[in-house]
Structure 1
Amino acid sequence: MWGKSIVGCGLVVMALPLSAAQLTLQQVWNSGFAKGTEIVSVQAATQRVAVSNSEEGLVDVLQLSPQGLQPIARFADVLSDGEEMTAVAFHPLHDYLALAVRSGDALKPGRVLVLDGKAGQPLASLPIGVWPDSLAFSPDGQHLLVANEGEGYVPVGAGYVTARGSLSLLRTVGEPAAWQHQEIALPALHGHPGMVEPLHGRKLEREINGQELTLPFDNSPEHLEPEYVTFSPDSRFAYVSLQENNAVLKVDVAQASIAQIWGLGMTQHPADVKEDGQYRPDYALTALREPDGISVTPDGAYLLTADEGDTEPKVKKLKAGQPAAGGRTLSIFAASNGQLIADTASQLDDMAAAAGVYPDARSPAKGAEPENVLSFIAGDTLWAVVALERADALALVDLSDIKAPKVVQVLGLGEGAGSGNLAPEGLAYLPLDGRHYVLAGLEKSGQVALVELKL
């Protein structure tokens, strides 16, 4: 039932209805490092979990059992000087771990490093595009797609240069050393409907030689920054988010080409944009969605986006008519053509506030900050789980009515949730013995949270 206005933890919030289904925190596994546990990838057939640590340049392999997560291997010393590991993907069928590795030079190609999933020895090093950010195997195991973000900037004369973003599609048949690579170049997307436009006044915040600079950008190839990759359940298509450009690319895997380009437009809903110790969603927010993590529903019918935002300026510095950065929403699109079905409006922040984990200091920026999303079916219901980076929490969303998604719970992932000191990043779903588990890499605490959906 609906509750009354309550005051707690310095925030004025409204209690919202509860669902019988609830996420429960089962375990927080500690890597032994202070931070860096960013991406989690699972192999369902063996219930193993790979965790990349971007700070330490290593991969942990964990075993999920009814007793929880247990470490079974750690693969370290696999990078060269200056390299950075940004993601890991477990092959769905074979004992292969694919690592996305950035060069220490912002303008040089990266590589996919393939390790034996049991022993950890290198099996192949495959050149790809510049500054890879994420990668994923197709469900049938025959392809690996890498999003080469190319977001690094290098001073040249009085200006700066950056590499072009691109996609690397690898045919993953046979031994890893024989995997074939094909680069998918990205075209200029000026004037594409629904994407960021010059009149929006958006800028990029980038660190160059230790300085935080705010730079102009557009939809030219060097400013297209592929962020996150997911596949359709039948492996025919892949989807790639262009976060800063407010778009998604649909890739025809067999043709190794871009099939569709979707500008994601804007969302409009109430939001709290003041850092004042209270949660009051009384500002009429108009914002570009700017998705980070994306996911396809198990039936392949819908694409879900976690609308984090990643451009400047903040709300209080916007000029008249300029949209804000980041929808603060989960959005749903038809996977066939990109048509918008619905979004969650203010619900993610509303429920974070009701749970006492809303990060009020982030109100002028991106609120609870939806970082990633996944979906699965449990109890004959379609669910989504959204990682809220700044709230240190997971949101459970009921998608029974796809046109009216309902956020039924926000669960803090540990002590201090809402401070931004846990920061869930990578998500993975793993069923085991009729139970439904979600794993979240907590980037800022060096941990992995194991959460169970109880119906």
Structure 2
Amino acid sequence: MKKIILSLLALITLFASCNNDDNPKNQEPEVVVNENPATFKEIGSIAIGGEGAAEITAYDEKTKKLFTVNNSGTNQIDVIDLSDPTKPTKIGKIDLTSYEGASNSVAIFDGKLAVALESTVNKQANGKVVVFNTTDYSVIKQITVGALPDMVTFSPDGKYIMTANEGEPNTTYTQDPNGTISIIEVTNNYAVTTLDFATFSTQLSTLKKDGFRISSFAISFAADVEPEYVTISDDSKTAWVTMQENNGVAKVDLASKTITAIFPLGFKDFNTAENGIDVSDKDDKVAFSPWKVKGMYMPDAISHFSVNNTPYFVTANEGDAREYNAYSDIKRMKDVKLDASVFPDAATLKLETNLGRLNLIADMGDTDGDGDLDEMVSFGARSFSIWNGNTGKIVYDSKNDLDKKSQEFGTYDDKRSDDKGSEPEAVVVAKMGTQSILFVGVERSDAFLTYDVTNPASPQYLQTVKTGDAPEGLLFIPASKSPTKRSLVIVSSEGDGVIKIYQPDLK
């Protein structure tokens, strides 16, 4: 009876949409589906290669194809037929060799595939975005952007393409291009504006006080900033960009093409029961305990949603070190010098079964400049966080829930306890009915977790789902665009090159 009622509702919605003069001709009518977001199950999978083969995936509703980055000994985008999600089939590829670039990210809007390519001639040189037609894979446009474009996305209205250009240094630090963002105007013959962060250098002391980080080895403020990931508001007016190594998020006005603010993300205190972490990979046990350590959020992926006209962004607080021949900012806790007055039990703390194995940020924590550490700062917050999109103030942090839920699920990797725990990598917020649902990919626990974030100050845990090895990309396909007319979650796992497709049950 439920299915009959749902079918009738869908037909009524379809009829109403088709008779609405305000409905754009190229926009499919919304499909009414009463789904349970706590019941996602795997319905299909496909392996496209080995390690690095399935990093990021985009979906084209026009052709019902997936386009997936494949860097496992190749340099191509794999094309997968998703018309039957239970039997995904590889049907083609786009060879990227001739573009002198390796792909990092893909995005799709209205039959256009945007691919972000870092230079294979010189990684520190400018990269490019190549736009392809999703039907015949012909090239529409090539656009030069900043160095090492790590992520690309379309604005919801399709008028803009944005890239986060990480601008990493070479291993000797003789070249360190500015970290930048590029804004491409699709409707203006793909005109591009690339922005750096130099103007914020005068705010460094204030930013650092609030937890923004510029490394001790930085050539300049602008060169040290490393944009990582972008999300754009539903009205296509505002973007938020993570700067992972810098522990910050930038706010961008798309109409004026200006960076309007940098939000420092501050520190997380692991010395509480609710934030307790497992810090040793040598103790043969999992114990989430308080420790006198702080964590820098250092987010990788970012997503957004709004409630009552207030924007929020969500971060996957992975953490990331800088490890180069000329400079490395990572050091084991047992190898650092601690202030004896602050840490009178230093000898005990340095045992490998205690804090000794924990990776710390080597050039942070000497607050009085006397050569020893007065506080310990580690990489990442082992959580997801929700922040106010207008002010950058934290609204909610998941504490140690991702690690604990991974342990309960049986996939927590104790051998990663010294370094980021379950390692939150990806976040996506999607609307399912009246609920805002958050999907969080945890790379080292080979799973994604779902939360109801309709109340951003009090998310509710829903489910943990097994994925392939090292999930990197999460993609939500709403029911209105799905080939099954049911919501789908696509998970791309770079550890084993497997793409898995998940679908929820009906209520």
TM range, smaller chain: 0.7 to 0.9
CA RMSD of aligned residues (A): 2.4
Deviation by residue 1:130-158 (Cα, 9 ceiling, x = unmatched): 11111100000000011110113153xxx
1:63-74 correspondence runs (5 A): 63-65=81-83, 67-68=85-86, 70-71=88-89, 73-74=91-92
The Cα offsets for residues 330-359 of structure 1, whole Å up to 9 and x where unpaired, read as 100111221210110000000000000001
Q: How far does the alpha carbon of each residue in 1:385-436 deviate from its partner, in whole angstroms, 9 at most, with x for none?
A: 001011111011222432122333322215xxxxxxx111111100235522
Structure 2: segments with no counterpart, 5+ residues: 1-35, 270-274, 322-329, 334-357, 361-372
Distance across 1 between alignment mates of 2:276 and 2:262: 29
- Does residue 168 in structure 1 map to residue 168 in structure 2? no
Structure 2 matches for 1:114-129, cutoff 5 A? 114-129=131-146
Counterpart of 2:338 in structure 1 is none
**SS at 1:249 equivalent:** strand
Is the alpha carbon distance of 1:197 and 1:240 closer, same or farther for their aligned partners in structure 2, counting shifts above 3 Å? closer
Rounded Cα–Cα distance in structure 1 between residues aligned with 2:177 and 2:168: 7
Cα 1:436–1:168 change in 2 (3 A) is same
Counting only pairs closer than 5 Å after superposition, residues 371-386 of structure 1 correspond to structure 2 as 371-386=425-440
1:304 matches 2:314: yes
1:51-450 alignment, distance < 5 Å: 51-55=68-72, 56-65=74-83, 67-68=85-86, 70-71=88-89, 73-80=91-98, 83-91=101-109, 93=110, 95-104=111-120, 105-153=122-170, 155=172, 160-173=174-187, 178-187=189-198, 188=201, 190-191=204-205, 192=207, 193-197=209-213, 216-217=217-218, 220-268=221-269, 269-275=275-281, 276-284=283-291, 285-297=293-305, 301-311=311-321, 312-313=330-331, 316=358, 318=360, 319-414=373-468, 422-432=469-479, 435-450=486-501
User: Is the Cα–Cα contact under 8 Å of residues 359 and 379 in structure 2 kept in the other structure?
Assistant: no
Q: Distance in 2 between matches of 1:101 and 1:219?
A: 25
- Structure 2 distance, partners of 1:333, 1:69, is 39
- Secondary structure (helix, strand or coil) at the match of 2:183 reads strand
| Shift of residue 23, structure 1, vs aligned partner | 2.7
Query: How many residue pairs get matched?
Result: 407
Between structure 1 and structure 2, the one with the greater Rg is 2
Distance 1:296 1:346 in 2: 22
With over 3 angstroms needed to count, the CA separation of the structure-2 counterparts of 1:65 and 1:38, relative to structure 1, is: same
Task: Please tell me the residue identity of whatever aligns with 2:457.
Answer: K
- Whichever structure has more strand as a proportion of its residues is 1
Bigger mean CA deviation after superposition, 294-303 or 325-334: 294-303
Moved more, 317-326 or 144-153: 317-326
Is the CA contact (8 Å cut-off) linking 2:103 and 2:117 kept in structure 1? yes
Superposed displacement of residue 322, structure 1: 2.5
Who is 2:12 aligned against?
none
Q: Which deviations, in whole Å up to 9, do the C-alpha atoms of 1:97-151 show, x marking residues without a partner?
A: 1111111202311111111111112222211111111110000000001111011
CA contact (8 A) 2:57 2:67 kept: yes
Shift of 1:247: 0.4
Q: Is the 1:47–1:430 contact (alpha carbons within 8 Å) kept by the matching residues of 2?
A: no
Instruction: Tell me the percent identity.
Output: 28
From the superposition, tell whether residues 298 and 87 of structure 1 become closer, same or farther in structure 2 (CA, over 3 Å).
same
1:219-253 residue CA offsets vs partner (Å, 9 max, x unmatched): 71111000001110110011110000000011100
Matches of 2:278 and 2:49, distance apart in 1: 37
Tell me by how many angstroms 1:273 deviates. 0.7
Distance between the aligned counterparts of 1:97 and 1:228, measured in 2?
18
> Residues 441 and 194 of structure 1: is their aligned pair in 2 closer, same or farther, counting only changes over 3 Å?
farther
Instruction: Point out where structure 1 has 5 or more consecutive residues left out of the alignment.
Output: 1-18, 204-215, 415-421
Separation in structure 2 between the aligned mates of residue 25 and residue 63 of structure 1, nearest angstrom: 17
Q: Secondary structure at the match of 1:37?
A: coil
